[in-house]
């Protein structure tokens, strides 16, 4: 039986749950599968050296790689082709080696889309505020507009970044689809008429606790999706639930992006319910 060899390229990825998530699913499906961590710091490779890592992985027989911070954009120029999602977002989190060619995909887009479909089924999504215009925010914004959101307001402390993302999304989805909004006082006004809030800044992660906005601004019928998944129960989600808002944690996106990558690597559809269960177990153990 063939063995799938895959890896994760990024910085500070030691605590990543990806190896166990992928390998447990492969074992359950009877596949031989090894998932290695290719940590830039451990290997002594700078982020711009990601192209060299790709060449090495291909030569060593890797089936593919997941790519995370800070290489999701840097890797693009080293690829032979891109999926439509990856092309539109300008970032790649999954590379598949196919007959010597390196093909880039973005399963953050498909993973977030499925997380919303399954975790916020039936929720209105016409107007959404996106807080955080980095790589994860770009994937979420693209997924929302592709799924039917018609009015996306992008907020970032770096207003230029919000403007750049909104501009990119407008070019793909039309002039009225997205616009940048100043952080600060205007955020409360924007949330007032919105159906949902997607939080895509690192605030709330174990190393950077807190919330990126005042919890008083949250009130039903607004739903709140947090992309942060370490911890799963962030201060933002706790505050939103306490105020009666419907919520979606970052775990679902984490699992579905992994499941989509797994299927790209193996051609075998994983059991997503089992992966969600495994993720919950691993996440509670890692706390
Ligand atoms: P990034 O650094 O690329 O982008 C973060 C953006 O947030 C930056 O543009 C920054 O200026 C902005 N920002 C920071 N603090 C802010 C604040 N208080 N108000 C407004 N804007 C602010 O990071 P990223 O890769 O996009 O990741 C963001 C978060 O999403 C991280 O917590 C990451 O772990 C998470 N993430 C989750 C998944 C998942 O599967 N659930 C996938 C990818 C990333």
pLDDT digits (tens, 9 = 90+) for 52-110: 999 999 999 999 999 999 999 999 999 999 999 999 999 999 999 999 999 999 999 99
Q: Are residues 19 and 72 in the same domain?
A: yes
pTM over 0.75: yes
Is 125 found in the same domain as 243? yes
Residue 146 shares a structural domain with residue 234: yes
Active-site residue, selected from the candidate residues 72, 199, 230, 278: 72
DSSP string for 64-114: EEEE-TT-TTTTGGG-SEE-HHHHHHT--SEEEEETTEEEEE-HHHHHHHH
Domain count for the chain = 2
Q: How far apart are CA 98 and CA 64, in angstroms?
A: 9
Q: Specify whether 72 is catalytic.
A: yes
Same domain, residue pair 115 and 53? no
Q: Are residues 141 and 223 in the same domain?
A: yes
Phi first, then psi: what are they for 58, rounded to 5°? -65, -45
C-alpha closest to that of 105 among 61, 72, 58, 149 = 72
The boundaries of the domain holding residue 11 are 3-105+252-285
Are residues 147 and 265 part of one domain? no
Residues 191 and 97 in one domain: no
156 CA from centroid of ligand 1 (Å): 10
Reference 115, options 265, 232, 287, 267; nearest CA is 232
pLDDT 10s digits, 16-49: 999 999 999 999 999 999 999 999 999 999 999 9
Residue to substitute in 89, 200, 228, 272 for testing ligand 1 pocket (most ligand atoms within 8 angstroms of CB): 200
């Amino acid at each position: 039986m063939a063995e799938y060899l895959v890896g994760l390229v990024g910085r500070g990825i030691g605590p990543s749950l990806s190896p166990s998530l992928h390998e447990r699913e492969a074992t359950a499906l009877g596949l031989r599968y090894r998932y290695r961590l290719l940590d830039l710091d451990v290997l002594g490779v700078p982020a711009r050296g990601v192209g060299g890592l790709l060449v090495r992985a291909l030569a060593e027989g890797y089936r593919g790689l997941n790519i995370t911070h800070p290489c999701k954009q840097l890797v693009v120029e080293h690829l032979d082709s891109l999926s439509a999602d990856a092309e539109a977002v300008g970032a790649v989190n999954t590379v598949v080696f196919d007959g010597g060619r390196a093909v880039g995909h973005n399963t953050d887009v498909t993973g977030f889309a499925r997380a919303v479909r399954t975790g916020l089924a039936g929720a209105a999504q016409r107007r959404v505020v996106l807080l955080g215009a980095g790589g994860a925010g770009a994937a979420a914004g693209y997924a929302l507009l592709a799924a039917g959101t018609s009015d996306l307001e992008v907020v970032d402390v770096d207003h230029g970044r919000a403007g750049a993302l909104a501009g990119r999304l407008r070019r793909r989805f039309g002039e009225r689809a997205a616009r940048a909004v100043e952080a600060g006082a205007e955020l409360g006004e924007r949330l007032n008429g919105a159906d949902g809030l997607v939080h895509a800044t690192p605030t709330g992660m174990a190393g950077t606790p807190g919330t990126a906005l005042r919890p008083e601004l949250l009130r039903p019928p607004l739903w709140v999706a947090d992309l942060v998944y370490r911890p799963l129960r962030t201060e933002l989600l706790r505050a939103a639930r306490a105020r009666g808002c419907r919520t979606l944690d970052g775990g679902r996106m984490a699992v579905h992006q992994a499941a989509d990558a797994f299927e790209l690597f193996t051609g075998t559809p994983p059991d997503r319910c089992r992966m969600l269960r495994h993720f919950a177990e691993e996440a509670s153990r890692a706390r």
